[in-house]
A and B are shown apart, each in its own frame.
Chain A
């Protein structure tokens, strides 16, 4: 079976060592790792944002050679920053994620992310959490084959964390799609099918969430240890 997204020798000098990664259709992959480990660099390189070595293909199609309308159908990247300068309405920001105007799809996303009362408001006047929802809707707009989401659950309240996870699950299971999302909260990885642990610019573990939570490598990478009460900082030996 052809992977939905495949990277071969993907590398960013000084931040990401040559990396091979494959994700299959319908798969939700969490990317975790300590601060500065290379999670964002990996996502940016997969999205074609980072000037990198190696190659990324989506359903066998080279990402870098795809022009804008085609690229929007192949992948969507949600950056970690939620700042927006211009006073564009939330509805228009969502529409910017579409290769061509589609009012029906825009309204569908406004409803899905419960943005109705905010749709006409300028995005630069919304709270960070509200902007996160608008930008997630923008990322979903073109029904891309691969969603590359940098900290999509940050700045969201518990209701929206769970709702966003449900929306992502529906997006990948209902269509020709795979999702990769970087996370900071280790409790959230159980909502994913697979977890990739990144440390010092390389993938050090790639397994299911339960196995990852039980692994020695996870605690070592984060300098944490787990006991019955939960996670705590590992004391230096």
Chain B
């Protein structure tokens, strides 16, 4: 990636973060004039955690998506399409509603276990170098199973309001999260991204195939284990706080690889920046939508991401036909 492209990406993500903090300016400006201490509290308790969560969650989805795509040697692999986010959601729901642990740390732990379970199951079902169709079918099956089990867990929950409580969270939402909650997503996300960066040479060498990478001295089994665990830690930590948000982990790495001349491993950093900027932009779109109520951000990313996904599938079909 060139210095210019890196600077542009950092500037875009920073600008999206600042806009997320400041917009809509009219309400914040008015509040600042009337009651500066209240404006400060709104900024610190509402806007900052929301912007931070959008940046962190988007970056985690982008980085994990790039690593998972490099690992499976497949541009359609991503945390949501491989069932990782659904597994994390299931883990968090079981922890919160069946085991009745509501502490953020317990929720994060449950989500991470669910995400590891989903990715482990995918590896067992589809194999490490799965064909696209096998990967998507296995991911679909795991997502469907995790979704059904999540519904079952909510139905069996002692609380009669479990479905209502969990609705916004299940659809993916950044609204009304505290700074403490943002920190609970930030820490595992940072650990996950930083440690994923150590796998960049091995993931790049995987572009030559698993046999070549191993002959070059990379322990691909260990790389696979690291990517599965780190993606699960990062995504699980974010899902526990904000629910499942789709398609960012699919879209961001695809744009990122255009900046790394197709190299899958070194796309992790640009994918993180693009993912962060995308989710911040989606959150700004949520706020700007003139609907009278706040849309779940997961709905917006799905509405933008699903057509993109369909275009990718069509392109792949055309290349197979050709």
Contact = CB atoms under 8 A, between A and B. Distances in A.
Interface of A: 44, 47-49, 66-72, 75-79, 81, 83-89, 92-93, 96, 122, 135, 138, 148
Given A70-B217, A71-B217, A85-B73, A92 B261 contact: yes
Contacts of B218: 68
Interface stretch (B14-22, B32-40, B188-196, B199-207): B199-207
Given A70-B217, A71-B215, A138 B209 contact: no
Given A68-B201, A68-B218, A72-B217, A87 B212 contact: no
B190 to A, nearest CB: 26
B47 interface: no
Interface in B169-220: 201, 204-205, 207-209, 211-212, 214-218
B211 A77 contact: yes
B129 to A, nearest CB: 9
B215 A96 contact: no
B201 A79 contact: no
Q: What size tier do the contact residues of chain B reach?
A: 20 to 34
B176 to A, nearest CB: 41
Nearest to A80: B211
Contacts of B208: 84, 93, 96, 135, 138
Given A49-B215, A72-B216, A79-B211, A88 B205 contact: no
A69 to B, nearest CB: 8
13 contacts: A49-B214, A68-B205, A68-B217, A71-B215, A72-B216, A76-B215, A79-B212, A84-B208, A85-B73, A93-B208, A96-B207, A138-B212, A148-B215
Nearest to B261: A92
B74 interface: yes
B50 interface: no
Contact of A48 (B205, B215, B261, B262): B215
B215 to A, nearest CB: 4
B66 to A, nearest CB: 12
Q: Which of B205, B257, B261 has the most CB of A within 10 A?
A: B261
Contact of B215 (A69, A77, A86, A135): A77
B49 interface: no
A77 B217 contact: no
Contacts, number: 70
A44 B262 contact: no
Q: Is the interface of A mostly helix, strand, loop or mixed?
A: mixed
B264 interface: yes
A195 to B, nearest CB: 23
Contacts of B217: 48, 66-72
Given A76-B215, A86-B257, A92 B209 contact: no
B216 A84 contact: no
B224 interface: no
B215 A75 contact: yes
B135 to A, nearest CB: 12
A144 B18 CA distance: 51
A102 to B, nearest CB: 16
Nearest to B214: A49
A66 B218 CA distance: 10
Given A78-B212, A88-B207, A92-B263, 15 more contacts: A47-B211, A47-B214, A48-B215, A49-B215, A68-B216, A68-B217, A71-B215, A71-B216, A79-B211, A84-B207, A84-B209, A86-B264, A87-B262, A88-B263, A122-B262
Contact of A85 (B74, B205, B211, B261): B74
A78 B216 CA distance: 11
Contacts of B263: 86, 88, 92
Contacts of A96: 204-205, 207-208
A69 B215 CA distance: 11
A44 to B, nearest CB: 7
Contacts of A148: 215
